[in-house]
Amino acid sequence: MASNKTLAIVVIVILAIAGVGVWYFTTIPAPTENVIVMGTTDSVESSLDNAQAYDYFGWEIITSLSSGLVEIEPGSQAGPDDIEPALAESWTVSEDGKVWDFDLRQGVTFDGVRPFNATVVKYTFDRNCNLTGNGLWEPDGPQLNIGYDTIIDNVTILDTYRVRFYLKIPFAPFLQLMACAASYMVDPQYAPMDELVGYVDGNARASHPLGLGPYTLEEWTRSGGKDVQIVLRANPYYWNAANGLPKTDKIIIKMYSDATALAQAMSNGEIDVAYRQLTAQQVNNFKNDPNVRVWEGIGAQIQYLCFNQRVEPLDKVEVRQAIAAALNRTNVCNTVFLGQANPLWSIIPAGMAFHKDSFKIYGDANYTFVREQLAKYGYNESHKLELTLYYESSGHYPQSAEQAAVYKQDLEASGVITIHLQGLDWATYRAQRNAGTLQLYIYGWYPDYIDADNYAFLPFASWLNMGYNDTYPAGGQQQYQLWLNGRSASTATERQNYYYQLQDLQAQECSVIPLWQSNTVAVSKLTVHGIVLDITVNWRHWLLYLGEPATTGP
């Protein structure tokens, strides 16, 4: 036992050390938090539940809050050699292309507690794709509209960290499908098997079913069904944290009412990044501003014109062909987008495998052909074809009102068509599309997965509610069969043959008319780095970081 003197000395030493400790920890400043503020005119369309979400911005947030089995290498062409491991470390495929085995990454957890394993993978696909018949079936969601149920038969657990996908067909772009947001994992604790997860005011964690992503959802504020602010916080349990991801601790996303407000916020320095939807003129103005960087990349986003073919005379193929011939794609690309978009002559984008310029048979503003086709149904300069062209007016698509004005000008220049314009906010636009009340309307597409397969189906997509399959079941079925053949073919030569036939048929029937294909553009402060704009059109929040001011362009 120590003496009282010894105890006194020990106490003094301990207190001295403690005093030093207190002084040390109270004088060292707290580490500075890295924060990037991003501005957009976008908003989550429905929810952050990937059994329902089917919009660009919703997917942008989902890919920050979750992970898939594989990823596409940033900056690549998203081909077969550009697929990288994510939650799966490796995979194999059977000779017939219908059985895929994935070896899963071990040691990954939800919130540092619940393990990720083959059970989670099976639960995710059983729930989101309704593979068991007991899960969700969202009629306007990606799993139905992409057609997961036509591709995947079932998911089977082989071992704790091995999972097998049995496919119904040999599906050429299966890994690209696994890399899209609709295939990302859900957390079973927050993802009921028979219930969608929607926005809960004041409770960000209860507002989504996701996990395992580079970020967690710290805040989600909405007003009147439209986003006001979203805050992403770095996930300390992210499976790829050892590689320094995410590169920024906190991302604050602020929503602006329109492009003018967004550009003003960028000019005033209120935000670090502006992305979707600046006008072409604003982008050109920023190119002359030495205080910002303009980032440009290849774009896979397209826009196209849709017909309600349950309404006369839009059920007549010659009328739709006349409208196709009256449009001047070069005009809209030069006047509205100032050269930042390119004319599109197929529903499959240019620069993508199997694209063919099938719609070039109509030319630009071929008014002789327009008048000849419409004369077959009694339309002429004294009895004009009168139509209402609808466009969305809330910033979901770029410069929609300006686009519509140019299309009106082009169509009316034929001398035998009269166009009335009607703008609707995005929520109303979708509701009226679903109700079948739109006559002639503009729609856009961003890829779910990067392959011609993900575009070629649009002219007969049921969710566009055009009545094409109702009015022309034979044509719709023929397109559908060519599409099936193309996605199941085992060689590139076979796929090209089917897709070329399909695009030619689509140009003949004109159930939709491709309009333009745009570049992808973002504007940032000089101190922002890590923006990648590639053909995936994925926005990767986790790669953004602040650094020394750039002295040259991206």
For 15-74, write each residue's pLDDT tens digit: 344 444 443 444 455 567 899 999 999 999 999 999 999 999 999 999 999 999 999 999
Share of the chain above pLDDT 70, in %: 92
CA nearest neighbour of 286 among 228, 229, 341, 340: 340
Domains delineated in the chain: 66-183 (3.90.76.10), 302-518 (3.10.105.10)
Q: Which two tokens stand for residue 554?
A: 């991206």
Write the CA distances from 81 to 39, 90, 241, 534, integer angstroms: 34, 13, 24, 16
Residue 10 pLDDT level (bands cut at 50, 70, 90): very low
The number of C-alpha atoms within 13 Å of 216 and in the hemisphere containing its C-beta is 15
The number of C-alpha atoms within 13 Å of 267 and in the hemisphere containing its C-beta is 14
The predicted structure's pLDDT at residue 300:
86
Averaged over 466-475, what is the pLDDT? 67
Q: What is the pLDDT of residues 508-551, one digit of tens each?
A: 999 999 999 988 999 999 999 999 998 888 999 999 999 999 87
Least confident of 18-32, 138-152, 396-410, 504-518: 18-32
Amino acid (one-letter) located at 43:
S
Task: Determine which helix (DSSP H) or strand (DSSP E) holds 417, and give its type and residue range.
Answer: strand 417-424
The predicted structure's pLDDT at residue 492:
81
CB count in 10 Å sphere of residue 21: 10
The predicted structure's pLDDT at residue 30:
53
**For residue 249, is pLDDT > 50?**
yes
Averaged over 280-300, what is the pLDDT? 93
DSSP 94-154: -TTS-EEEEEEPSS-EETTTEEPSHHHHHHHHHHHH-TTSSS---TTSHIIIIIHHHHEEE
CA nearest neighbour of 440 among 363, 326, 301: 326
Which of helix, strand or coil describes residue 370? Answer: helix
The predicted structure's pLDDT at residue 177:
95
Residue 1 pLDDT level (bands cut at 50, 70, 90): very low
Residue 473 pLDDT level (bands cut at 50, 70, 90): low
Least confident of 28-42, 252-266, 360-374: 28-42
Quick check: 119 and 104 in contact, CB under 8 A?
A: no
CA nearest neighbour of 372 among 416, 425, 327: 416
**For residue 245, is pLDDT > 90?**
yes
CA nearest neighbour of 419 among 408, 405, 407: 408
The predicted structure's pLDDT at residue 21:
43
The predicted structure's pLDDT at residue 6:
41
CA nearest neighbour of 349 among 520, 493, 146, 148: 520
Q: What is the pLDDT of residues 69-123, one digit of tens each?
A: 999 999 887 877 889 999 999 999 999 999 999 999 999 999 999 999 999 999 9
Residues in the chain: 554
Distance CA 355, CA 357 (A): 7
**For residue 2, is pLDDT > 60?**
no
